[in-house]
Structure formats: structure tokens, C-alpha cells
Structure 1
Amino acid sequence: MDSGITMKAPVCLINNTPEGKLETNPEAIDILSKIKQPVVVVAIVGLYRTGKSYLMNKLAGEQRGFNLGYNVQAETKGIWMWCRPHPTKVNHTLVLLDTEGLGDVEKGDINNDIRIFCLAVLLSSALVYNSKGTIDQDALNKLKFVGELTELIKVKSKDNDDEEAELSVHFPIFIWAVRDFTLGLVIDGKEVTEDDYLENALKLKTPEKTIKNEEFNKPRKYLRMYFGSRKCFVFDLPSADKEVLQKMEEVPEKDLKPDFVAQSKKFCDYIFDKAEVKRVIGIPKVTGDKFAKLAETYTVAISSTNVACMEDVVLSVSETENKAAVQEAIQYYENKMMENAVFPTETLDQILNLSRQCENEALEMFMKKSFKDEDQKFQNQFIDLIQKKKEDFCKMNETKSWECCENLIEKLSAEFEKALSEGTYSVLGGHKKFKQDLKTIKETYKKEPGKGLQAEAVLKDYLMSKKSIETNILKGDEALTEKEKEIEEEKATKKIEEIKSQMTQLKESQRKQKEDDQVKTMTQNMNQLMEKMDEERRFMKSQLERIIDEKNRELQTYSNQGSQQQANMYQAQIEDLKKKKDELKDEMNDSNSYLPVIETFKKVTCAIAPSLIEMAGDIIKKIATRKWKEYQQ
């Protein structure tokens, strides 16, 4: 089971220094680095002193935690983090981010507000915008820096004509929380939902060509463009009692207005249900340790260049994470082998089967942690290192077996060796006695268990070492005629040839076993990689379909409102997204899409075992074809 963590209180994740520089807090990064579970990240932004921290405490399931503050000064500086077990998603961690209030008059730095907002967007899977009163022009004007997101956030490092359309693929869901709402949800005399209220507030004025209308429309256009998935919640005043409002973290729910309590629960339930695991380019599910790297890299990018390129950030993070993935997986393999291997094993299959089991577990670990592994660079490193480690264990197994067998031979042949040194067999009939004693040693040796896979090799080596001694004893044994000596000499020579042949066959058999095992290793790596590719394709397809649906909704809205210019822009974006979806669909329907992977694994196989290249190539192609057919089904 993946490891998670529960924090008793929030800590600062991104500190806003007195010099106006943003920097990550090592303590918070260390906490995140220990979280191996997928993270659902909820960030809240909004004007200072609007009660953001109260909502975050409710999401944390606690009455106090994030500092609410009761005076007119902003309390939260930078971005604070609180990690809690997710209340509805098992083995997931809920990461809550409470941001520094926007529009702090004491700070008076609009650029700082933009950077804080930008980081909240980049880091979250659900972004809550908190405001008071109503959704009016003033409230929307406070969000005017949403239009500057394209200046701070780039999807790709190279020029990209579809930047605005692509941003919405990677942006979080947007939730507007309107606090102290006292109006009725009525438009044109009809009761409406909270979502209807938000969408009505985001309607454009036409014609758009007047300066006044352009200023009115600007924040609305950007919100609708970048945040296709939107939700609205309105909250009554928690209490009419000013003292209660000033001590919210001490007041039990029974002393608050029932409507406010119900609205707060509805808000939390929606977040728990709809906010998904944080995802970025190439990382379908972000875990806590990956999120730590993202937070560090995004903060440095925003602080140093005022531009965060998502593609560059992910590549930078992937380089570090993939190196760590290789090291951790190899260490896991080594530890599991040391824990479970009992040397010497009786057969080569036993050590190879154990190794394969440990390899598969290590590969699964590597696959979970690695991402954006261009040309399988790091997976190839993993394969190469695993093969070397496996060979080390095989050699260790052979050495242990050899030592064990030599010690056994030495023990069983002690009397025999003593007799040889004393010339016991250099007598009349000594050759027969020599053969009988050597046969007894051989038979006893074979009955002894636990010798390992070098048992035959050590025995044959020992028998061959006695060939010259046997020849001398045979020549000096006067109990035998010359003809008998010739026959015995011929038998001994034939026996040695048999031993050499058996040794050659044994080595060839073990070589073949190891080659077969290497093919199985490649097969497993191929299967895992293609499954990961298929998963990423399915995820990207679902994301494109979601964004196309959202864009179609906006297109319909603008068409109904008579905003033809905006409708045309959305139509063009939809066509571009459909084209990408079609390209992805073609790729998913083409078995040749696996060809780059096939070629990569053929090269790896050739480097590790050149003799296997032809056989491995055929096997790899068959695997790719089978996987493609399974995927189509």
C-alpha cells in the first residue's frame, strides 16, 4: 500500500519573503516527498479577509488549523499547505492550499497577486475563488489578472498557436464561492440554480466593439475560456451575531445558521466527489513526492523568469524523478533478492524464477514512479542494471554452490586422499580398489542435498583431476595384464570425454535458460510499457473529449447571445481539438504506433544478448500485435 501522511497543522509551502520573492519551504517539501499516494489538490484564492481559511478548515475536517484572523490585516502570507487523508478516496491524500489574500493594501503589489494566483492554478486540481456579496462587475474586475495567465503560463516551450485552447486542458475545475450572499437566486422573475447565477453573470455584452463593452466582457471571456468546468456555491451569513463571526474557529456548528452549515457541507461534498487527482502533461496521477518537485520547479520558474512553461517544468521534474525511479527500483530488486534467496539454489530455474518475481515487482515500482521517459531512456537503464544485478546474483549463487560442493568433496574424500598420499593404491590389485573407493565417494556425494547447481560441475572437475593419478596406478598394477590395462585405459579416456561432453551440455543448457529468461524480461517490460502507453492515450482522449464538450457548450452560449466573433473563435478551437483527437484515434487504431517501442527494445536486447536479436525481434512484434488487438477489444 502506498504511504500517506497526516499533518496535525498546516505549514507554509511557498513563502512570500519581505523582498517579494517566492520560495518553497524545505519542511513542507520534505513532508510531500514522503507521500507516495496520489494527491487531490484544492487551492483557494480571493481577496483578503473574505473567510477563505474557514472553508479550508472545513475541507480538512477540523474547526481550526488555517489561521482565520479577525482583524483587518491579512493573516496568510504566501501559500500554506495542509495534507489530510482524503475522506472519500481510499489511499489518496487531500492537499489543501490556502493562499495569501489578493488585493492586500499593505502589500500593494499586483504582480505578487498574479504570481500567487498563477501558482494556485498550476498546482491545483480544483481552484476555489472566494468572494463576498454578489458576483458583480467589481467582483469580476478583481479577477482581471486571469487574462494575464497566458503571459505567465505556457503549455509548450515553442510557439504554440493553440495555447489558449490547450491551457484549458490542463487547468483545474473552477469553483466560485460567494460568501455573505443575501440576495434571492432569481433572474427575470424565475428561480435559478447557483450555477445559473454564475453563468448569467458571465454573459457578454454585445456589440463587443465599444471600449466599455470590451472592458466589461474581458474578465468574463477569460474565465469562460480557461475554466470550462465551473461551479458556483452561495453562502448565507454564518450568524447575525458579530461576536460569533469573530470567533468562528471556536463556535460549534449548532450556534451557526442551519442554512450556512448545510451550504458548507454541500460545498465540501462537491469538492470531495468532483476534485480529481492532480494531473499534468505526461503524469496521469501526481503523487505527493512528484507534487513536491512540481511545487519547487514552478515556484523557481515564476519567481525567476515570470513564466512557467508546463512542458519544460515536467521535463525537468521527470529527469530527476526518473533517475530516482531507476535507483529505487534497482534497490528494491536487490533487497528483495537478498531477503528471499537461499544460496545455493538446487537449479538455475529457481534463482531465475525468484529473480523474475522480484524484477516484476521492481518494474511495477519503476513504472508507477517514472513518467515522460523519452525513448525509454530510463527504462533501458533499468533493464540494463537489472540484468547486471541478476548476473551478480547468479554468480553469487554459483560461487556459493561451488564452495559448498568443494567442501563436501573435501570432507568425503579425506580418507581417499590420505590413502593416495600414502601409496595405498600402488599395490597389486590397487586399481580396482581405487575405482571402488572413488565410486563410493561419487555415490555418497550425489545423495547429499543442498549442493546447488554446480554439483555436477564440481564432481566432474574432481573426477577429471584424478585421471592422471588413475593412469599411473593402472600402469603399476601387476594384477592386470597389458590387454586389461589397455581396456581400462580406454574406459577411463572415454569416461573423461563423456564428462567433458556433459560439462559442455550443462553450460549450453544454462546459457539457453538465461537467454530464455532475458526474453521473458523483455516481454514483461514491453507489456508494462504498452499498458502505460494505452492508459495515457485513453486519458488524453477522455480529456480532449471533455474539453471539446466544454467548448461546444461555450460555442452554443455565444451563438445564442449573438456574439459571433467569440463563437467563431470557439469553433476554430473545437476544430483544432477534434483534429488532435482524430490524430490520437488514428494512433490508437494503428498497430504500427508501437514500432518505436519495438525498435527500442530490439536495440536493448541486442546490447544485452546479441545472439537473441532475431528471436527477440519476432517475439516483441508478436507481443505488440497481441497488445494492440487486446486494446482494440
Structure 2
Amino acid sequence: MDSSIRMKAPLCLIENSPEEKLRVNPDALKILSAITQPVVVVAIVGLYRTGKSYLMNKLVGVQNGFALGNTVQSMTKGIWMWCIPHPTKKDHTLVLLDTEGLGDVEKGDSKNDIQIFSLAVLLSSTLVYNSLGTINQDAIEKLQFVKQITELIKVKSEENDDEEAELSRHFPTFIWAVRDFSLKLELEGEAITEDEYLENALKPKYPEKTLKIQDMNQRKNCLRMYFRARKCFTFERPSAEVSVLQNMETVTDKQLNPRFVRQSEAFCRYIYNEAGVKCLDEIHPITGKYLGSLAKTYTETINSSNMVCMENAVMSVSEIENKAAVKEAAQHYEDKIKERVDFPTETMETFMELSGQCEKEALQMFMKKSFKDKDQLFQKELAEILQEKKKEFLKTNEAESRNRCEALIKKLAGDFEKALEQGTYTVPGGHQTFADEMKRIEDEYNKEPNKGVQEKQVLQEYLKSKEVIGVTILQSDNVLTEKEKELEAEKTKMKAEDMERKVKEEMESQVKQKNEAEIRTIHENLQQLMEKMEKESMLRKMQLERIISEKSREQNQYMNQSLTRHADMYQAQIDDLLEEKSRLQGPSWYTPIVDTLKRVAAEIIPGALQVGGEFLSQMVSGYSEKLSKTNVKETSKKK
């Protein structure tokens, strides 16, 4: 999103109709589709009439934006969106989502609440849960939607034995905002932080003597399981004056409790500095365009009463975006060739070098925009398209060269052709004059620059076209003896053979230059793909390390409470994560990629792959050695 673009007011993203059907607003999608920057998505959920919209307005820096309301009636319906340039992250956009209040008595049942809550979880990178008073049993009971979320959301399409653990890898950071908080932050006489207050409140109670305690422990465990990264903010009551509370849209900070103002500022600073970018598949930052596609996919799935599969939604978005990436990259290649290549090029090498530069840029563009390109199907599609476009431009290059060369010969041989028609050379001594004219045409032709890749071939064709006429003129020239005629004929034959040899060598050279360029193309495809996958592998390892650290924290808390059953469950998850991480250490992650790309190259450029096969093998070995050294360094650092 350009820094000069800013929504003047919020807009409904997902409308909640009276028939309890959710619908994505096309106008909101248009705004999101124009945002090409990574987005930080902060959604707020909570019971209605708890001041959610006020916090969202503070993040925008306005008093009046998201509707606050001053009655017992819920003001926000559906999910409202406000996109602004990110206050602290350059070239990022902050997307704020204010959701319809949960527990609205006017709605009658909680099905719609679960849907709104689920959409907030699916779309956000940071989820703020807003509640009043304290984090007690009643507050946790009201957060029933976390327990029910698996009714609507799953991560993978196939059956998964540990769906809860998978969900925890994809859920947003969780912030509990406790409003009108009046307690001292103390535990057993010792001062504690807001985060410690939250963690203590989420500790399960044992022994589980009653079903109510079991149910409460399950809710707490769900919160801890799904939301690995958690944060807490407490806010005192904004004012003791009822009239101030009823007019929060118009009062100034000076009219509010100073501590409440400071707490609100601390909350905003945290969101600005710590709230992360929304990612797909854990590591791929998304733009507004992606976010809009996800919002549409998730909403339509929920409306159809089907379970939202995050993997399917991501694959659906990736297919759309990968197609767009192929189209954009192919167009870039075509545009840049037309811009940079002055047809005809002097040599084949010149064209192939320029084409290689354009291909490299097109590939970089594709790599930047594509993601989850399974089996490199879209990269293969791009390679095929570029190969076809290159062939067309090669034909254009040859045609332009041929046209220029033929026009030049026509110009140089104009008088000569007229003389032939008039029989000027069929006279005694005419053969020498004929030979001199042919040499003149050839010399002047060779002096002319910028004839292109068909230079020798067109000249050879012209000279060959005059061979029969030359023989006729030679045989009819009475000035020459039979011996001289034989010598001239032999000389002409040798020259023709020499010319034919040169043309053949030139054509072979051009084929070689094409093959060498195609090898460089395969090399570039492999190199860029390997670099991208290596970067993604490193990001995945970092992400896994964060998750392992967070899981270990949870495990330690259970161990400190002597809850071995829960601790063992987390250990099993940690073991799975460590195994996944180890797979990213060796060649197993890139070997299938290399094999796939070789198959693609064999289909598109058969000859080039055979010529460059050894070179590519050396390249792959080089990557293997590089990654091996990197992994050794990482292991040494940890020791």
C-alpha cells in the first residue's frame, strides 16, 4: 500500500446479514487487492459493549472511527476493516479488524459467534481478546469459542492424530486485554507482571474433583495449546464519570484517567513494535491481495457449513497467485526483450545474452511472488512459456536479419542484375567483368555493419544463385582458353565450398551458443530455486525453534506442577518438531527439487541438458557441500 494511501474511515469487510449468512464486501476486497505490501493484521474480539472499538481507534490515532456506541445495544455487526500505513514498519500496512461483539442477546444462539471468532483467528496475525474485570473462572467460561474452534477449523486435508498441535503452529499471537481492572498485580504477597497474571490464571486446577473443574481445565489447556505466544494488558477504568464513559468518542485524554491513558499508549506501542506480519504456511508474508482471497475463501466455506481446511485454502490462494506470477513474469520477459533488443542483433551470442538477462529478471519476479509451487509445476509452466517466446523472438531476429541482408544485396546488385538481363557479360572478356562485379558486391556487402545472424547464409544463397549464370558466361567467353576456363571453374568451386563451410561453421556456432545459453538458463532456474528453498528452509528451522521453545515452556510449567501426563504430551510434540527440523538439515529437502527441475529441463530443452548435465551435477554437489558446512556451523554454535 502506498504511504500516501489511507482509508479515511473503516469499511465492513465481512457483513453479517439478518439471515445469519456472512458475506464478504466487494468494496473491501478492492481495497485489499490494491495493497501489495506485507500486512500486519490485528483483530479484536470479545463480549459486546466492552470497549473493543475504542482500542482499535487508538491504534489508528483517532477518537471517532470504529463505532463505539453509548447504549446497551451492540454497534459493530460482522467484521469491520481499517487499513493504514504501518506507523513503525516501513513499506508495511497495518490492517485492523473490529469484530461484532460476542454474546449479543439479540442474536439468540452462539453459532454466529463461533463463526465470527473463527474468522478473526484465521485472518489475523495478532488476536486481541477484550474482557471486563478480571481473568477469573467466569471470564474463561465466556471464552468458550476457543474450545469449540475445532468444529470449524482444521489444518490439513488428511486425518491428523494431533490436530490441536498443528493448529497451534498456525494461530495468531494472543493478547488478553483486561478492561476496568482494579486488582493489585500481586501473587502470594509478591508483585507480578501482567503476563505472569495471565499465565497464573491459565494454570489448570488439580485434582479434578468435579466435572466443572475438568471442563475449566480443558478450556485453559485449549488456550495454552492453541495460542503459544501470549501477552496480557490490564486497563483501569477510563473515568469515574458516567457522562465521560458515554461520550468516549468526543472526550480528550485530559478528561480520562491518566493511568488508563498510559496503559492504552503501552498497548499501542506493543502492537506497533511487536505484532508480526500475517503469514501463509508459517513463513510466507502475505499482502492485502492474499488477505482478501483468504477472507473470501474462509467465509464461503463457513457459509456452506463445511469445515475450514487451512491447507486447502492456502493451496487455493497459491494456485491463483502462482498463475498470476507466471503471467506477470512472462509479460516482463516479453516487454524487456522488445525494449532492449534492437533487431536484428549482430550475433546470436548478443541475442542470447540479452534474452538471458530478461529471463533472469522474469524468474526473479516469479520467485518473489510464487509460493507453495508443488513439484515446481508453475516454474515449469513459466519455463515453457519463456522458451516459446524465445523461439518466436529468435525467428523475428532471423527474419529481420534476412530482410536487411536481402534488401542490402538488392541495393548493391541493382545495376548488376540489369546488366545480366541485358546480356552485358556474354561477350568476349565478359567473365572477368562478371567476376569483378560479384566481388564488388561481396566486398561492399561484407563492409556493411548490423546485418545480423543471417549475414553469411543470405550471401551464400545469393552467390549460389549466380553459379549457373557464371558457368554459362565462363563457357561462352572466347577470350579464355580451355585451360583457363578449367582453372576459373575450379577456383569458383573452391570458393563456393569455402563459403559453404563458413556458413556451416557459423550455423554450428549459433547452435552451440544457443545450447550454452540454455545451460545457463537451466543453471539460473536451479540456482534461484535452490536459493529460495534454502532461505525458506532456514525460515522454517527458525520457526520450528521458536515453536519448540514455546512448547518447552509449556512443558516446564506442567512439570513444575507434577502433571507428567500433560508434560509427556508436550514432549511427544517436541520430538515430532525436532524430527521435522532434522529433515531440513540434510539433502532430503532439495534432492526432489533438483530431480524435478532436471526432468523439466529434459522436456523443454533436451539437447542443452545433455550438454550441461555434468555442469549441473557439479552445481548440486556445490550446494550440498555449502549446506553441510552451514549445518556444521549451526551445530557448533549450539554446543
Common fold: TM-score over 0.5 = yes
Give the 3 Å change call, closer, same or farther, for CA 417–2 of structure 1 in structure 2.
farther
Give the 3 Å change call, closer, same or farther, for CA 315–555 of structure 1 in structure 2.
same
Does residue 566 of structure 2 align to residue 588 of structure 1?
A: no
Distance in structure 2 (CA, Å) of the matches to 1:529 and 1:338: 26
2:618 to 619, 622, 625: 622
Aligned to 1:601: 597
Aligned to 1:46: 46
Deviation per CA, 1:508-551: give whole Å up to 9, x if none.
11111111111111111111111222222222222222122112
Distance in structure 2 (CA, Å) of the matches to 1:104 and 1:8: 28
Q: CA deviation at 1:593?
A: 4.0
8 Å contact 2:10–2:65 — kept in the other structure? yes
CA RMSD of aligned residues (A): 2.0
Structure 2: which amino acid aligns with 1:418? K
Distance in structure 2 (CA, Å) of the matches to 1:376 and 1:98: 39
Distance in structure 2 (CA, Å) of the matches to 1:333 and 1:63: 49
8 Å contact 2:50–2:132 — kept in the other structure? yes
Aligned to 1:76: 76
Deviation per CA, 1:427-464: give whole Å up to 9, x if none.
22211112222222222222223322222222222222
Q: CA deviation at 1:282?
A: 6.9
5 Å-filtered alignment, 1:208-357, equals 208-281=208-281, 284-357=284-357
Question: What is the DSSP-based 3-state SS (H/G/I as helix, E as strand, rest coil) of the residue aligned with 2:220?
Answer: helix
5 Å-filtered alignment, 1:474-485, equals 474-485=474-485
Distance in structure 1 (CA, Å) of the matches to 2:586 and 2:286: 28
8 Å contact 1:45–1:102 — kept in the other structure? yes
Deviation per CA, 1:101-154: give whole Å up to 9, x if none.
111111123011111111111111111111122212221111112011222211
Deviation per CA, 1:367-423: give whole Å up to 9, x if none.
122222111111111111111111111111111111122112211221121221122
* Structure 1 stretch displaced more, 402-411 or 437-446: 437-446
5 Å-filtered alignment, 1:439-588, equals 439-582=439-582, 584=583, 587-588=584-585
8 Å contact 1:5–1:35 — kept in the other structure? no
Aligned to 1:431: 431
Structure 2: which amino acid aligns with 1:589? G
* Structure 1 stretch displaced more, 2-11 or 416-425: 2-11
Question: What is the DSSP-based 3-state SS (H/G/I as helix, E as strand, rest coil) of the residue aligned with 2:130?
Answer: strand
Q: CA deviation at 1:168?
A: 0.9
TM-score (normalizing by structure 2): 0.94
Aligned to 2:634: none
Give the 3 Å change call, closer, same or farther, for CA 490–574 of structure 1 in structure 2.
same
TM-score (normalizing by structure 1): 0.95
Question: What is the DSSP-based 3-state SS (H/G/I as helix, E as strand, rest coil) of the residue aligned with 1:128?
Answer: strand
Q: CA deviation at 1:5?
A: 5.1
Distance in structure 2 (CA, Å) of the matches to 1:461 and 1:258: 93
Question: What is the DSSP-based 3-state SS (H/G/I as helix, E as strand, rest coil) of the residue aligned with 2:157?
Answer: coil
Structure 2: which amino acid aligns with 1:183? L
Question: What is the DSSP-based 3-state SS (H/G/I as helix, E as strand, rest coil) of the residue aligned with 1:305?
Answer: coil
Structure 2: which amino acid aligns with 1:168? S
5 Å-filtered alignment, 1:123-272, equals 123-272=123-272
Structure 2: which amino acid aligns with 1:286? I
* Structure 1 stretch displaced more, 286-295 or 173-182: 286-295
8 Å contact 1:115–1:302 — kept in the other structure? yes
8 Å contact 1:598–1:620 — kept in the other structure? no
8 Å contact 1:185–1:193 — kept in the other structure? yes
Structure 1: which amino acid aligns with 2:265? K
Question: What is the DSSP-based 3-state SS (H/G/I as helix, E as strand, rest coil) of the residue aligned with 1:98?
Answer: strand
Give the 3 Å change call, closer, same or farther, for CA 209–538 of structure 1 in structure 2.
farther
Distance in structure 2 (CA, Å) of the matches to 1:460 and 1:615: 30
- The percentage of counterpart residues that share the same residue type is 57
8 Å contact 1:551–1:574 — kept in the other structure? yes
8 Å contact 1:238–1:260 — kept in the other structure? yes
8 Å contact 2:175–2:233 — kept in the other structure? yes
Structure 2: which amino acid aligns with 1:241? E
Aligned to 1:30: 30
Deviation per CA, 1:181-202: give whole Å up to 9, x if none.
2222222222211111111211
Give the 3 Å change call, closer, same or farther, for CA 443–168 of structure 1 in structure 2.
same
Q: CA deviation at 1:621?
A: 2.2
Give the 3 Å change call, closer, same or farther, for CA 446–60 of structure 1 in structure 2.
farther
Give the 3 Å change call, closer, same or farther, for CA 356–64 of structure 1 in structure 2.
farther
8 Å contact 1:3–1:37 — kept in the other structure? no
Q: CA deviation at 1:283?
A: 5.4
Give the 3 Å change call, closer, same or farther, for CA 226–426 of structure 1 in structure 2.
same
Deviation per CA, 1:70-95: give whole Å up to 9, x if none.
22221211111122222222222222
Gapped runs of 5+ residues in structure 1?
Answer: none
Q: CA deviation at 1:65?
A: 2.5
Structure 1: which amino acid aligns with 2:624? W
8 Å contact 1:283–1:371 — kept in the other structure? no
Question: What is the DSSP-based 3-state SS (H/G/I as helix, E as strand, rest coil) of the residue aligned with 2:590?
Answer: helix
Distance in structure 2 (CA, Å) of the matches to 1:239 and 1:268: 19
Question: What is the DSSP-based 3-state SS (H/G/I as helix, E as strand, rest coil) of the residue aligned with 1:631?
Answer: helix
8 Å contact 2:120–2:127 — kept in the other structure? yes
8 Å contact 2:170–2:282 — kept in the other structure? no
